[in-house]
């Protein structure tokens, strides 16, 4: 890569990353007079007084929350819909592995919140949700509090660094800052892109979290894209995948064929590599499958439902009485068990079936959940009982950049005669250019569905 291009990347990355982390308080203006924010609020004051219309508050403007807000306005025009989101712009994790290696522009995967909210008549407020008081039916944000009739929680995931480091915040923060996972929408994606583009060669390590995790096939896609980038740019780098699982899943044969046939000299796959310890300062990882030093790493701590799901007291219990890490919802209707006015959707959803345990934590499912829950709430506002509706899932994973080729996986769901959700899965392991076209078509249609 030429020097000029590197500088351009730094500048572009920095400005988009600033947008993503930009805060409503207007702080951090580097000594210049701070621009006053549009609205100065505080948690103790009322953010929006509630009128007579039924109010639905949607927390989290990712794939699930955005879809819910738009379709609620269409299906329940009498409802007041408020979407609360901490980020000022939407950044898509799907397609981001291709963006990492410059196959797509930032503009394809970033979208504007305000414009779409104005077009569809819901209110978008950029704010951090601090608390949910379910007994008072009230949400508290940094800008003030607001009451709800129905609440939809779509907070995505959080990283469980405590599983690695206990209460040692210093080491957890250092790990996240130096070797970010880039699995949550924030400036970590830009830090990772920068690290890749500055990488001079050596050992690039990825730790994969145990299931349930956000988008299980996407770390393998990322490994392929990084290996392709090394190969394409003649960088003497090796990608080592330290997988918690005992094998590549889903689309295992397709990914393994890519590792062996396209990246034999670039990718080493290590199964059963349960992390024992990590030292981000010495760049050292110890696992059940062996120890490693690295030059750069993508350190993915285990995943759990986003903080907000914990603050709203939605987390279920395991058989031993410990927190399950995921929201305890009615599998068919997606509302919280014991609180029918609070719905949880997307990645934060917990156990739904004894056959397959969790829905795939994917954007496709979160988007479908948004449609489904908008329909459920609209039916209830109209005084009817909603009928069960289930999602499907579809994921395309690019494995080759030259020529561009992808593989894919599809899931379908039905309720059996015992009332249990059953899953069927179809893996397409044969990589092809047609699946790349389908992937971009899928992304375009989904962006249109949420932002059109
Ligand atoms: C690299 C990568 C590739 C992927 N590829 C695919 C793919 O090809 N196909 C696919 O289907 N899925 C893919 N996924 C998975 C997909 O991104 C997630 O499953 C999807 O984003 C889940 O949607 P969600 O609405 O549950 O959560 P999110 O989209 O994460 O949305 C949660 C939102 O809540 C906001 N939020 C959280 N807490 C608060 C708070 N306290 N206050 C205010 N706002 C808050 C967050 O800022 C965020 O915007 C991929 C993920 C990654 C990381």
Provide the β-strand partners of residue 279.
284
CA of 92 to the centre of ligand 1 (A): 8
Has residue 32 got a pLDDT over 80? no
Confidence of residue 268 (pLDDT cuts 50, 70, 90): very high
What are the angstrom distances between the C-alpha of 120 and each of 115, 154, 224, 374?
9, 19, 39, 14
pLDDT digit string, tens, across residues 368-385: 999 999 999 999 999 999
Q: Which atom of ligand 1 is nearest to the CA of 84?
A: 43
* Average pLDDT, integer, range 58-72: 98
Please tell me the CATH code under which domain 11-27+38-158+305-389 is placed: 3.50.50.60
User: In testing the pocket of ligand 1, which one of 113, 214, 440 has its CB within 8 Å of the most ligand atoms?
Assistant: 214
User: In testing the pocket of ligand 1, which one of 65, 94, 124, 219 has its CB within 8 Å of the most ligand atoms?
Assistant: 94
355 and 54 in contact (C-beta within 8 Å)? no
| Ordered DSSP codes for 5-67 | HHHHHHHHHHHHHHHHH--TT----TTSPPPPPS----TTSBSS---SS-EEEEE--SHHHHH
Q: Which range, of 9-13, 303-307, 354-358, averages the lowest pLDDT? A: 9-13
Q: Which atom of ligand 1 is nearest to the CA of 395?
A: 9
342 and 153 in contact (C-beta within 8 Å)? yes
Has residue 346 got a pLDDT over 80? yes
207 and 242 in contact (C-beta within 8 Å)? yes
CA of 62 to the centre of ligand 1 (A): 5
Ranges of each domain in the chain: 11-27+38-158+305-389
Residues in the chain: 452
CA of 260 to the centre of ligand 1 (A): 31
* Average pLDDT, integer, range 440-450: 98
Pocket of ligand 1 (CB under 6 A): 60-65, 84-87, 93-94, 96-97, 128-129, 154-156, 183, 185, 214-215, 218, 222, 306-308, 346-347, 361-364, 366, 395
Please tell me the predicted confidence (pLDDT) of residue 39.
63
Confidence of residue 50 (pLDDT cuts 50, 70, 90): very high
User: In testing the pocket of ligand 1, which one of 366, 393, 436, 441 has its CB within 8 Å of the most ligand atoms?
Assistant: 366
User: In testing the pocket of ligand 1, which one of 126, 145, 156 has its CB within 8 Å of the most ligand atoms?
Assistant: 156
CA of 449 to the centre of ligand 1 (A): 16
Lookup: tokens for 36? 């006053």
* Average pLDDT, integer, range 401-429: 98
Residue 228 in 3-state DSSP? helix
Q: Average pLDDT over the chain, rounded to whole?
A: 93
Query: What is Dmax (Cα atoms) for the chain?
Result: 66
pLDDT digit string, tens, across residues 137-170: 999 999 999 999 999 999 999 999 999 999 999 9
* Average pLDDT, integer, range 229-247: 98
* Average pLDDT, integer, range 323-343: 98
CA of 147 to the centre of ligand 1 (A): 25
Q: Where are the beta strands (DSSP E) in 221-369?
A: 237-243, 267-270, 275-279, 284-287, 290-293, 296-299, 303-305, 315-317, 323-327, 335-336, 339-344
The percent helix, strand, coil of the chain (3-state, each to 5) is: 30, 30, 40
* Average pLDDT, integer, range 179-201: 97
CA of 184 to the centre of ligand 1 (A): 6
């Amino acid at each position: 890569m030429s020097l000029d291009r590197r500088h351009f990347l730094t500048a572009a990355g920095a400005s988009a990353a600033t947008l993503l982390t930009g805060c409503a308080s207007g702080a951090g203006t580097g000594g210049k007079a701070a621009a006053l924010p549009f609205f100065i609020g505080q948690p103790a004051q009322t953010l929006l007084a509630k009128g007579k219309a039924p109010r639905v508050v949607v927390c989290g403007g990712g794939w699930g929350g955005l879809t819910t807000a738009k379709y609620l306005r269409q299906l329940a025009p009498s409802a007041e819909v408020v979407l609360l989101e901490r980020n000022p712009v939407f950044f898509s994790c799907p397609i981001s592995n291709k963006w990492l290696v410059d196959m797509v522009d930032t503009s394809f995967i970033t979208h504007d919140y305000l414009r779409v909210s104005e077009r569809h008549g819901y209110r978008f407020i950029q704010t951090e949700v601090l608390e949910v008081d379910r007994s008072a039916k009230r949400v508290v944000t940094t800008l003030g509090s607001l009451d709800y009739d129905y609440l939809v929680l779509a907070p995505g995931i959080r990283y469980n660094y405590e599983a690695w480091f206990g209460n040692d915040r210093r080491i957890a923060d250092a790990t996240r800052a130096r070797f970010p996972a880039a699995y949550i929408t924030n400036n970590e994606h830009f830090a990772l892109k920068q690290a890749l583009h500055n990488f001079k060669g050596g050992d690039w390590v990825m730790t994969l979290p145990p299931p349930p995790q956000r988008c299980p096939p996407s770390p393998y896609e990322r490994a392929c894209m990084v290996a392709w980038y090394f190969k394409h740019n003649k960088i003497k780098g090796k990608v080592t995948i330290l997988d918690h699982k005992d094998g590549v899943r889903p689309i295992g044969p397709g990914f393994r064929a890519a590792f062996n046939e396209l990246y034999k000299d670039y990718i080493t796959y290590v199964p059963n590599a349960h992390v024992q310890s990590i030292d981000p300062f010495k760049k050292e990882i110890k696992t059940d499958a062996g120890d490693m030093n690295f030059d750069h790493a993508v350190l993915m701590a285990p995943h759990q439902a986003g903080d907000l799901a914990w603050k709203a007291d939605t987390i279920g219990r395991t058989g031993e009485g410990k927190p399950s890490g995921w929201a305890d919802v009615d599998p068919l209707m997606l509302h919280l068990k014991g609180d029918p006015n609070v719905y949880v959707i997307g990645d934060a959803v917990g156990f739904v079936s004894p056959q397959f345990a969790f829905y795939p934590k994917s954007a496709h499912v979160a988007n479908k959940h948004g449609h489904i829950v908008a329909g459920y709430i609209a039916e209830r506002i109209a005084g009817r009982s909603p009928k069960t509706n289930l999602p499907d899932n579809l994921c395309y994973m690019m494995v080759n950049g030259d020529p561009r080729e992808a593989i894919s996986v599809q899931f379908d769901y039905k309720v059996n005669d015992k009332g249990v959700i059953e899953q069927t899965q179809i893996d397409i392991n044969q990589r092809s250019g047609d699946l790349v076209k389908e992937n971009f078509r899928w992304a375009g249609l989904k962006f249109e569905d949420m932002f059109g």
